Amino acid sequence: MAGFYEIETKEEIPRVVAQVRDAGRIPARVLVEVGEIIDNVRARGDEALLEYTRAFDGVELDPGSIEVDEEDREAAWGSLEEDAAGALDMAAGRIALFARESLGSGWQREVAPGVSIGQVRVPLESAGLYVPGGRFAYPSTVLMTGIPAREAGVRSILFCVPPGPDGEVNGVTLAATWLVGECRVFRIGGAQAVAAMAIGTESVPACGILAGPGNAYVTAAKRLLAEEVKIDLEAGPSEVAVYVDETTNVAYAAADVLAQLEHDSMACAVLVSESAEVLESASAVEAGMTDGLGSGAETAGLSLVRCASRGLSLEFLNVLAPEHLELMVGDAEDLVSEIRSAGCLFVGEYAAVALGDYVAGPSHVLPTGGSAARLSGLSAADFTRIMNVVRYTAEGFEQDAPAARVLAGLEGLSRHAMSLDIRMRG
């Protein structure tokens, strides 16, 4: 049963936001448990990984079988049906295009005669990418994390993927790694996999960045390890907000809501409108679709929010800062500039979130829990760092050194002044 909320004033917005979303707070007990897992992996390495794989995945791995053989990756790709291979290849191409275009290049400018300043992008040496398992396979996450890392120029890319009951990585997920190119794949999951990629074990090398979505335990591990390694973001349960009006095809809106609720029992979906009638109509259609899908459909996370004005609707959406935001109203294009906070914005009734999940191009690893107000989705830039570059000729030094000499004196740093004086004297 969907929850129904009404907003008549701006002051009510924070209360409704808190009610419609489980903010994704990680329970204290999970942080404690994950801390113990990290400590165990740090102390015992591969032995701990094998122990946790046995306990959590029900799989007994041999000490030498944590890593997937290169031949198995190639065989997985070769075994795909033609339509599956074509779809993955199409998605990979689009993701690569977006990654290249969004990465940007460095810059350099001569700001005075003989004085040049600029920046260059430098790829990180290594990236550890987490791909969830569980109820579903996620070959799309392989592409959405691995291809941006590749396009950024990361030399060492590795994936951790939970093994299935047979001890193997899902075949389609494994096949997707072949499209990333040179990389390594490890059949381990959960917080222990994140710890291994951050700390390093006998089999799994430590990485410069951890990226990819996961459950509360994976997210907790990233949080606890953030002081030791760069992380992308804390990507929690899926979220979608859909802004609808009298022009909306409510069947499209209902289908998109169900698509995101399918991910997780903690997923959050919100329909927003100034019209209670439109919301009720969309909810009724969604309920009918749920009946047709059977018991596997998750609908508990749906909320209906009626706002007294368009201004309140837009303010609510910006405060909510959802992972995915669909503008499915008649003048959607005119509202793009009004949206400040969303992980990814989908404009128009044909911009289904499912397209963004798979083939549109931007990574589907996006901020959740309201963090889209301050964080961006994963991009190729996350796999790089900016290095500033300064160039001086003798002419440029002669021009700038006197001012720098004065500032060194003001700060009382005599050796800074000396390093300038020795050049000024020639």
426 residues of the chain, pLDDT tens digit each:
678 999 999 999 999 999 987 645 788 999 999 999 999 999 999 999 999 999 999 999 998 899 999 999 999 999 999 999 999 999 999 999 999 999 988 899 999 999 999 999 999 999 999 999 877 899 999 999 999 999 999 999 999 999 999 999 999 999 999 999 999 999 999 999 999 999 999 999 999 999 999 888 999 999 999 999 999 998 878 899 999 999 999 999 999 999 988 877 778 899 999 999 999 998 888 888 876 555 444 556 789 999 999 999 999 999 999 999 999 999 999 999 999 999 999 999 999 999 999 999 999 999 998 999 999 999 999 999 999 999 999 999 999 999 999 999 999 999 999 999 999 987
CB 358 within 8 A of CB 144: no
Catalytic choice (286, 324, 326, 349): 324
CB 12 within 8 A of CB 312: no
Give the per-residue pLDDT at 263: 77
Catalytic choice (234, 239, 323, 326): 323
Give the per-residue pLDDT at 63: 86
Query: Terminal CA-to-CA distance of the chain, rounded, Å?
Result: 81
- Write down the mean pLDDT value for the chain: 94
Residues in the chain: 426
DSSP code at position 271: E
CB 193 within 8 A of CB 186: yes
Backbone angles phi, psi at 123, to 5 degrees: -70, 145
**Residue 295, Cβ density class (10 Å: 0-12 exposed, 13-18 middle, ≥19 buried):** exposed
| CB count in 10 Å sphere of residue 255 | 16
CB 271 within 8 A of CB 283: yes
| Alpha carbon distance 213, 85 (integer Å) | 24
**Residue 353, Cβ density class (10 Å: 0-12 exposed, 13-18 middle, ≥19 buried):** buried
Residues sharing a CB contact under 8 Å with residue 40, sequence separation 6 or more, in sequence order: 48, 51, 52, 192
Q: Which CATH number fits domain 3-24+236-361: 3.40.50.1980, 3.60.20.10, 3.40.30.10, 3.30.420.110?
A: 3.40.50.1980
Joined tokens for residue 307: 């706002």
Give the per-residue pLDDT at 295: 43
**Residue 108, Cβ density class (10 Å: 0-12 exposed, 13-18 middle, ≥19 buried):** exposed
Helix (H, G, I), strand (E, B) or coil at 415: helix
Sign of the torsion formed by the C-alpha atoms of 82, 88, 92 and 93: positive
For the chain, residues classed under CATH 3.40.50.1980 are: 3-24+236-361, 28-108+122-235
Residues forming a β-bridge with 426: none
CB 132 within 8 A of CB 215: yes
DSSP code at position 64: G
Give yes or no: 324 in active site.
Answer: yes
Joined tokens for residue 51: 């122990």
CB 37 within 8 A of CB 221: yes
Give yes or no: 395 in active site.
Answer: no
User: What topology is assigned to 28-108+122-235 in CATH?
Assistant: Rossmann fold (3.40.50)
Residues sharing a CB contact under 8 Å with residue 274, sequence separation 6 or more, in sequence order: 245, 306, 307, 308, 309, 310, 313
Joined tokens for residue 15: 């209360």
